[in-house]
Amino acid sequence: MDLNMLWFILITVLFTGYFFLEGFDYGVGTLLPFLGKNDSERRVIINTIGPFWDGNEVWLITAGGAIFAAFPNWYATLFSGFYMALFLMLLALIVRGVAFEFRSKDDRPAWRSLWDWLIFGGSLVPALLWGVAITNLIRGVPIAGNMQYAGTFWDLLSPYTLVGGLTTLLIFTLHGALFLTLKTEGEQLESARRAASLVSILAVPALLVLIILSYSHTDIFTNTGAGIVFWGALVTLLLACRLLRSGRYARAFIMNGLTIVCTTVAVFWGLFPRVMVSSLNPEWNLTVYNASSSPYTLKIMTIVALTLVPVVLLYQGWTYWIFRKRVTVKDLEY
């Protein structure tokens, strides 16, 4: 294994960790206005992800930094071609972060309701756009021979990519509902269970349609391993639904998490050794070799990553352990 391949795998791991962890943050935020019947219940819902959401976003920052340093040509083409989509995503994440901090600065119901709906929008938009972005990576976008994006924002939108966006939105929402079954009690737990059951009814056919459409819109199934893992995502989602209905919420959460992991791994596995597919000419594809930094840069990055990443993982694991208990109205400070 050369360093180019190693860094592609590390970036895959970073995005997999991000979608698994931030996925339930998106889901909780999307469900907030609907599962919180009053201010106390909404505060409980927000507090379930309060200690985690900003730490979970570190995975995205690290993944973006890794792409910038290890594959600068990929970074340049991706961020210029997907500029408007990524700007909207960044704006939504900023609004959501501000909303978490501002909603409790005033007791007026209208003030808190406004920020709650901004948390909803700041969670829904990224959950949708990530699916659009990922499906564009494997479908292919207009990249010219000079590695520059030759299309517009509207070239990123198609029935296939919109199905991808809807699928990630539903799976992340299900992830959030299952997370709430592990972090709340009583009526709120029951509300989360009902929401998870409803969303699961939509998530299964959405993922099935996405897989079927991927046969005609992408070539990732030419990689047998990627195809098996992609279908495995559907199997784990079905298992999550079954476990949910039997009341085994922790196992259902793990299975839905595996759905996210399998889907992400399948996409990157089917993409390799490419990092972006050119719909204009296969010879203009960006790969882990023509888009990478120098071998010396990759070597230095590897040393730094092997030194610091274990520390970050230990710290984040410690955070989840400390805040592992369920959150109830009794825990709120008035």
Nearest CA among 267, 288, 309, 242 for reference residue 16: 267
Q: How far apart are CA 63 and CA 58, in angstroms?
A: 8
Average pLDDT taken over every residue of the chain: 92
Residues whose CB is less than 8 angstroms from the CB of residue 57 and which lie 6 or more positions away in sequence, other chains included: 18, 22, 93
**Residues whose CB falls within 8 Å of the CB of residue 287, separated by 6 or more in sequence, listed in order:** 273, 274, 275
Please report whether residue 127 resides in a domain. yes
pLDDT in tens, 262-285: 999 999 999 999 999 998 889 999
Within 10 angstroms of residue 110's Cβ, the number of other Cβ atoms is 7
Q: What is the mean pLDDT of residues 200-209?
A: 96
How far is it, in rounded angstroms, from Cα 334 to Cα 330? 10
Q: Residue 194: what pLDDT?
A: 95
Residue for token digits 């909803």?
120
CA angle at residue 184 from 332 to 259, to 5 degrees?
135
Q: What percent of the chain has pLDDT over 70?
A: 99
Give Cα 113 distance to the centre of its chain. Answer: 26
Q: Answer whether residue 109 is part of any domain.
A: yes
Distance CA 238, CA 292 (A): 39
Range of the domain at 193: 11-331
pLDDT class of 196 with cuts at 50, 70, 90: very high
Q: What is the CATH number of the domain that holds 323?
A: 1.20.1630.10
Give the global pTM.
Answer: 0.93
* pLDDT at residue 333, rounded to an integer: 64
Does residue 151 lie in a domain region? yes
How do residues 32-47 score in pLDDT, each as one tens digit? 999 988 888 899 999 9
In a domain, residue 1? The reply is no
CB 207 within 8 A of CB 234: yes
Give me the mean pLDDT over the 81-105 stretch: 91
Hey, what are 224's tokens? 């047998």
Total domains, the chain: 1
Question: Is residue 2 in some structural domain?
Answer: no
Helix axes 3-35, 249-271, angle to 10 degrees: 140
Residue 253 lies in a domain: yes
Whether residue 31 contacts residue 118, with contact meaning beta carbons closer than 8 Å, is answered with no
**Cβ contact 291:50 at 8 Å:** no
Sign of dihedral through CA atoms 45, 47, 52, 54?
positive
| 151-169 tens-digit pLDDT | 888 888 999 999 999 999 9
Position of tokens 């309060």?
50
Residue 4 falls within a domain, yes or no?
A: no
In a domain, 6, yes or no: no
Cβ atoms within 10 Å of 234's Cβ, excluding its own: 17
